[in-house]
């Protein structure tokens, strides 16, 4: 058999969403929001906005409106975002033991991330609505932190929408690993129609998993390149990711 030359290796970039794709820690996250929100606004968090496919910053701004926190004059809402992110990170860190006790690793997620990491030329990171500290905390609670490169990810505390964050993550990965991660070798694995839209905007293939609030039919209707019911078919998942990230395969 002829050895594969290094230049023949396909360099693939796999971006993982975290919440409801890999883990479900919604109960603990809601408790952290309920603590952080009044700490910076002075108002109780009575209503939490929908969170699927959204960033922490988007959720915070919507929560201000839903909970009648009148802080929009003079850009006060924007000034509160940074302290809110810090309070939320602290509140979630204080509940680190609750993450694995009250949360759960979604079926097949651990084996999936491990198996995908063995694909030739693959780099794995996260593209998530969580801030970087919260992303690390959530994955570490379930032993997944060692499989992803957090330095090149995209996070909800950044000022970009998710579609732009995908492009930013690609640029970060290309710069760090000194290879080109183009649109045709980048795949975003996530669970919501908003994430499917983000993949389209950001120039990535979308592998949607019906493990969140959206059904498989809703994800297909949103235009996902492929849809899985969950992550339990490890061999099927890795084969699908390999196919989705073949250069010029689509």
Residue 249 lies in a domain: no
pLDDT of residue 77: 74
Residue 122 falls inside a structural domain: yes
Instruction: Give the whole-angstrom CA distance, residue 139 versus residue 116.
Output: 16
Residues 30 and 121 in one domain: no
My answer on whether 87 and 60 are in the same domain is yes
Residues 72, 49, single domain; the answer is yes
d(CA 231, CA 237) in angstroms, rounded, equals 7
61-105 tens-digit pLDDT: 889 888 876 665 445 778 888 999 999 999 999 999 999 999 999
Does pLDDT of 204 surpass 70? yes
The full 3-state SS of 172-233, as one line of letters, equals HHHHHHCCCCCHHHEEEEECCHHHHHHHHHHCCEEEEECCCCCCHHHHHHCCCCEEECCCCC
Select from 52, 67, 100 the last residue of a domain. 100
Do residue 151 and residue 220 come from a single domain?
A: yes
Question: Do 185 and 126 fall within a single domain?
Answer: yes
* Rg of the Cα atoms in the chain: 18
Q: What was the pLDDT predicted at 3?
A: 37
Confidence band of 173 (pLDDT split at 50, 70, 90): very high
Domain identity same for 94 and 164: no
Question: Cα–Cα distance between 28 and 213 in angstroms, integer?
Answer: 18
- 10 Å CB burial of residue 219 (0-12, 13-18, 19+) is buried
Q: 76 lies in a domain?
A: yes
Say yes or no: 94 and 132 in one domain: no
Whether residues 20 and 34 fall in one domain:
no
Boundary residue ending a domain (100, 118, 139):
100
- How far is CA 156 from each of CA 45, 126, 211, 222, rounded to the nearest angstrom? 20, 11, 20, 22
CB 209 within 8 Å of CB 84: no
Tokens encoding 24 = 């479900």
CATH number at residue 168: 3.40.50.1000
Whether 80 and 40 have beta carbons less than 8 Å apart is answered as yes
Q: What is the pLDDT of residue 52?
A: 81
110, 76: one domain: no
pLDDT for the residue numbered 36: 95
User: What digits encode the pLDDT tens for the residues 15-72?
Assistant: 999 999 999 999 999 999 999 999 999 889 999 888 888 888 889 988 988 887 666 5
Is 149 within a domain?
yes
Residue 1 counted as domain residue? no
What is the DSSP secondary structure assignment for residue 42, as one 8-state letter? S
Number of independent structural domains in the chain: 2
Structural domain contains residue 175: yes
Note down the domain range covering 36: 26-100
- Judge if 89 and 114 occupy the same domain: no
CB 244 within 8 A of CB 7: no
Residues 140 and 80 reside in one and the same domain:
no
Look at residue 250 and tell me if it is in a domain.
Answer: no
Note the residue count of the chain. Answer: 250
CA distances from 71 to 117, 247, 248 (A): 45, 48, 49
Buried residues in 11-40 as b, exposed as e (16+ CB within 10 A): bbbbbbbbbbbbbbbeebbebbbebbbeeb
> Long-range CB contacts (< 8 A, 24+ apart) of 29-38?
29/92, 31/91, 31/95, 31/98, 32/88, 32/91, 32/92, 32/95, 33/59, 33/63, 33/88, 33/91, 35/87, 35/91, 36/84, 36/87, 36/88, 36/90, 36/91, 37/63, 37/67, 37/84
Centre a 10 Å sphere on the Cβ of residue 248 and count the other Cβ atoms it contains: 7
**Domain closes at, from 66, 100, 134:** 100
Do 44 and 139 share a domain, yes or no? no
């Amino acid at each position: 058999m002829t050895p594969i030359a290094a230049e023949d290796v396909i360099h693939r970039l796999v971006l993982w969403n975290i919440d409801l794709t890999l883990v479900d820690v919604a109960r603990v996250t809601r408790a952290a929001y309920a603590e952080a929100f009044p700490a910076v606004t002075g108002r109780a968090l009575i209503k939490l906005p929908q969170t699927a496919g959204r960033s922490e910053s988007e959720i915070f701004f919507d929560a201000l409106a839903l909970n009648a926190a009148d802080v929009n004059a003079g850009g006060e809402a924007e000034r509160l975002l940074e302290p809110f992110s810090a309070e939320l990170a602290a509140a979630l860190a204080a509940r680190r033991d609750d993450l694995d006790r009250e949360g759960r690793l979604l079926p097949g997620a651990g084996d999936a991330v491990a198996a995908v990491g063995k694909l030739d030329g693959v780099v794995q990171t996260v593209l998530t609505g969580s801030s970087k500290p919260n992303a690390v905390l959530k994955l570490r609670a379930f032993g997944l932190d060692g499989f992803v490169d957090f330095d090149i990810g995209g996070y909800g505390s950044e000022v970009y929408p998710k579609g732009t964050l995908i492009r930013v993550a690609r640029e970060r990965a290309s710069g760090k690993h000194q290879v080109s991660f183009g649109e045709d070798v980048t795949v975003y694995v996530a669970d919501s129609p908003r994430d499917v839209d983000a993949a389209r905007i950001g120039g990535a293939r979308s592998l949607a998993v019906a493990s969140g609030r959206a059904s498989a039919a809703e994800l297909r209707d949103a235009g996902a390149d492929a849809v899985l019911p969950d992550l339990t078919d490890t061999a099927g998942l890795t084969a699908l990711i390999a196919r989705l990230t073949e250069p010029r395969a689509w």
